[in-house]
């Protein structure tokens, strides 16, 4: 099953942290947040990724093109740089990555529509390139397959500044984008979609996934909620950047499921 990651936004709210790199490349503990997200999926066996690129996408491409050499000892002749001799096994993830240029000024719904040709199965996962969680992704997929609807959205309960969902049990009745106050469950990303979602998407650069596509999916009772009560946090601001890096540096980062971190202690400054 493939994983679609939206990596094309401008990240205007976090420019004060890193203006020269795209938002998914902003580091946590010296590694891009995108790497952390991909490691989380790989931890559960999902290692086939499609990255929807846009703003400064070439920086993401170059990071992975240089990935093996950047983490290995090697010897090379400057006359034949392509014949670098790697010493030892080096360091490489067993990931398959498709880098898709989905446009510069393009919204999320259109980006997903434009990578339809790269998806092979009937079901795929999708998320944003700027949030980490300790969600059990295998359970998420199992939940999605069990209910048989077109879409599943992971819901969480942080402070209200994201798309709020009106729930009836696990059924999504209404999808509201970014209300002023969100007292209940909100969208945390980490979607699973049946391929039928593409019938609701258009190659329109203004198409926002979280508006018409998900709103109508909810009203048609084709969107279900997977309630996640564990850790979830986005990187939307310099405050988030500091918070996530502090968690990482203190060995209290719950999303590092591949490293078995120490118990998470919530910080009131989050």
Question: Quick one: average pLDDT of 209-218?
Answer: 94
pLDDT at residue 90, as a whole number = 63
pLDDT of residue 264: 43
Asked if pLDDT for residue 263 goes beyond 50, the answer is no
Count Cβ atoms below 10 Å from residue 27 Cβ, excluding itself.
18
Question: Judging by beta carbons within 10 Å of its beta carbon (0-12, 13-18, 19+), is residue 155 exposed, middle or buried?
Answer: buried
Let me know if domain 2-153+187-206+231-249 sits in CATH 3.90.550.10.
Answer: yes
pLDDT, average across residues 10-31: 84
Q: Is the pLDDT of residue 2 over 60?
A: yes
Tell me the H-state helices in the chain: 33-43, 57-65, 67-70, 108-114, 137-147, 212-219, 238-249
Is residue 1's pLDDT more than 90?
A: yes
> What distances in angstroms separate CA 253 from CA 28, 148, 245, one per listed residue?
10, 33, 9
pLDDT in tens, 166-212: 667 778 776 666 554 445 788 999 999 999 999 999 999 999 999 99
Which of these, 249, 250, 242, lies nearest to 26 by C-alpha position? 242
Question: What's the pTM?
Answer: 0.85
Contact 119, 51 (CB under 8 A): no
- Phi, psi of 252, rounded to the nearest 5 degrees: -125, 35
Domain boundaries, the chain: 2-153+187-206+231-249
Determine the pLDDT at residue 166: 63
Cα-Cα end-to-end distance for the chain: 33
Tell me the average pLDDT across 238-265. 82
């Amino acid at each position: 099953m493939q994983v679609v990651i939206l990596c094309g936004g401008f990240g205007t709210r976090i420019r004060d942290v890193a203006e020269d790199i795209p938002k998914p490349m902003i580091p946590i503990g010296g590694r891009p947040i995108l790497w952390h997200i991909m490691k989380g999926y790989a931890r559960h066996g999902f290692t086939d990724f499609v990255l929807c690129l846009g703003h400064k996408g070439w920086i993401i491409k170059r990071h992975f093109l240089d990935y093996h050499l950047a983490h290995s000892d090697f010897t090379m002749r400057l006359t034949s740089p392509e014949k670098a001799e790697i010493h030892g096994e080096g360091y490489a993830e067993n990931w398959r990555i498709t880098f898709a240029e989905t446009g510069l000024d393009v919204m999320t719904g259109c980006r997903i529509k434009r990578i339809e040709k790269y998806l092979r199965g009937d079901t795929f996962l999708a998320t944003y390139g700027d949030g980490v969680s300790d969600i059990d992704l295998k359970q998420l997929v199992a939940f999605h397959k069990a209910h048989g609807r077109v879409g599943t959205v992971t819901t969480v309960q942080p402070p209200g500044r994201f798309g709020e969902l009106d729930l009836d049990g696990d059924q999504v009745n209404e999808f509201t984008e970014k209300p002023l106050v969100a007292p209940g469950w909100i969208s945390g990303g980490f979607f699973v979609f049946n391929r039928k979602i593409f019938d609701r998407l258009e190659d329109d650069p203004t198409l926002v996934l979280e508006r018409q596509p998900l709103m109508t999916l909810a009203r048609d009772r084709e969107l279900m909620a997977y309630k996640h009560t564990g850790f979830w946090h986005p990187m939307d601001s310099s405050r988030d950047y500091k918070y996530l890096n502090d968690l990482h540096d203190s060995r209290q980062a719950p999303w590092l499921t591949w490293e078995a971190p120490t118990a998470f202690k919530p910080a009131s400054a989050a």
